[in-house]
């Protein structure tokens, strides 16, 4: 006995004739008749009363019908359970990040998610802040790591991650006279940036908007005359070559600062910060896959902050020891 026989049997009962069942199943009538005959031989009972008008259930058929329906429902439930399990195992969470964030979280996040669930994958796409917003709105990504001013939050849930420090990034050599004052400095006042050759994005980008807001707040106009392609790595190459300076979080430059390719100092008076958020669609924010991935993101942010790859203030609670994030 197999599922095909049960399906043919139940369909024939519901349609009232073998011909009607064959049409509903989109197969030849003799194939249905053959499978029904095989079924009756297997159960050693006549299941149908046959006539020119169609078929009706025999007493044995009435008993068998209830069991057949139950068996088919159980088989369908079993198949759906396996399909759902495979779907969960093969789930890919798509995350959109701006370049500076992607630089610090991408590799450890892939490792963290695979460690937490070997069957789950993350697909990380990097783009400018305005593109990340478009990706989230069109549901091309499940989670966006960006800034509140860059995301339309009408249909999103925002989870704060870190209030990141903004640093002035400059060539490590400090050979140019205009940069000599930065030698052995840990901080630089915003007003001291005036006149420095700043490589910066336009105000379409969240970073450009942040710089513009500080210029407005302080009344200090910075020197934006240097060309910038909009590509973070290209801008940093310009800095390394001594062509200018940039304003960036440490997440964008830690890999260059550690080997001594660039230097950086924190911008103060006023302190220059911006908060990074994890954004999700409101109707998806409680899905298990999303919640688990957000926990993985928090663990990665915590670890990179502890390594001082990402300087600033954490925006989520940790334990006293700072290592147990399982409940996040």
Residue 256 contacts residue 239 (beta carbons within 8 Å):
no
Neighbour tally for 74: CB within 10 Å: 10
CA distances from 327 to 90, 104, 291, 316 (A): 24, 23, 11, 11
- Written as one string, the DSSP assignment of 151-167 is S-GGGEEEEEEEEEEEE
- Residue 139, sorted as left (phi over 0), alpha (psi -120 to 50) or beta, turns out to be left
Distance CA 270, CA 190 (A): 7
For residue 312, the cross-strand partners are 164
The domains of the chain, with CATH numbers, are: 3-83 (1.10.10.10), 92-314 (3.40.190.290)
Per-residue confidence in pLDDT tens, the chain, 328 aa: 788 999 999 999 999 999 999 998 889 999 999 999 999 999 999 999 999 888 999 999 999 999 999 998 898 888 877 766 665 556 788 999 999 999 999 999 999 988 877 667 889 999 988 888 888 888 899 999 998 876 777 778 899 999 999 999 999 988 888 999 999 999 999 999 998 999 998 888 888 899 999 999 999 999 987 777 778 899 999 999 999 999 999 999 999 999 999 999 999 999 999 999 999 988 776 778 888 899 999 999 999 999 999 999 999 876 433 445 544 4
Tokens 């450009």, residue located: 208
Q: Which of 280, 292, 303, 300 is nearest to 328 (CA)?
A: 292
199 closest CA partner among 220, 176, 225? 225
* The pLDDT of residue 77: 84
Determine the pLDDT at residue 96.
Answer: 95
Scan for tokens 């999303």, then name that residue: 290
Query: What per-residue confidence (pLDDT) applies to 326?
Result: 44
SS3 state of residue 135? helix
Structure tokens at 31: 């194939």
Express each pLDDT in 99-150 by its tens digit. 999 999 999 999 998 887 766 788 999 998 888 888 888 889 999 999 887 6
pTM above 0.75, yes or no: no
Token pair in block for residue 163:
């209030």
């Amino acid at each position: 006995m197999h599922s095909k026989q049960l399906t043919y049997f139940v369909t024939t009962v519901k349609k009232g004739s073998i011909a009607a069942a064959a049409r509903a199943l989109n197969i030849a009538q003799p194939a249905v008749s053959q499978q029904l005959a095989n079924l009756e031989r297997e159960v050693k009972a006549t299941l149908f009363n046959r006539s020119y008008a169609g078929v009706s259930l025999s007493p044995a058929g009435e008993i068998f019908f209830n069991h057949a329906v139950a068996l088919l429902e159980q088989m369908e439930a079993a198949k759906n359970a396996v399909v759902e399990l495979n779907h969960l195992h093969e789930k890919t969470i798509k995350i959109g990040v701006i370049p500076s964030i992607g630089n610090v979280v991408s590799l450890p996040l892939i490792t963290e998610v695979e460690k937490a669930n070997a069957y789950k994958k993350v697909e990380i796409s990097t783009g400018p802040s305005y593109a990340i917003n478009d990706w989230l709105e069109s549901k091309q990504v499940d989670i966006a790591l960006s800034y509140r001013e860059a995301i339309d939050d009408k249909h999103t849930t925002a989870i704060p991650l870190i209030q990141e420090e903004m640093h002035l990034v400059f060539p490590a050599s400090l050979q140019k006279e205009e940069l000599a004052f930065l030698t052995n400095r840990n901080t630089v006042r915003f007003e001291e940036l005036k006149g420095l050759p700043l490589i910066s994005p336009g105000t379409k980008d969240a970073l450009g908007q942040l710089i513009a807001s500080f210029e407005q707040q302080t009344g200090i106009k910075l020197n934006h005359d240097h060309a910038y392609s909009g590509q973070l790595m290209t801008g940093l190459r310009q800095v390394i070559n001594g062509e200018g300076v940039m304003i960036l979080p440490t997440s964008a430059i830690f890999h260059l600062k550690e080997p001594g390719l660039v230097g950086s100092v924190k911008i103060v008076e006023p302190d220059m910060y911006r908060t990074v958020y994890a954004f999700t669609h409101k109707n998806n924010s409680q899905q298990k896959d999303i919640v688990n991935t957000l926990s993985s993101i928090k663990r990665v942010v915590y670890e990179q902050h502890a390594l001082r790859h990402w300087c600033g203030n954490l925006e989520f609670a940790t334990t006293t020891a700072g290592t147990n994030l399982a409940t996040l």
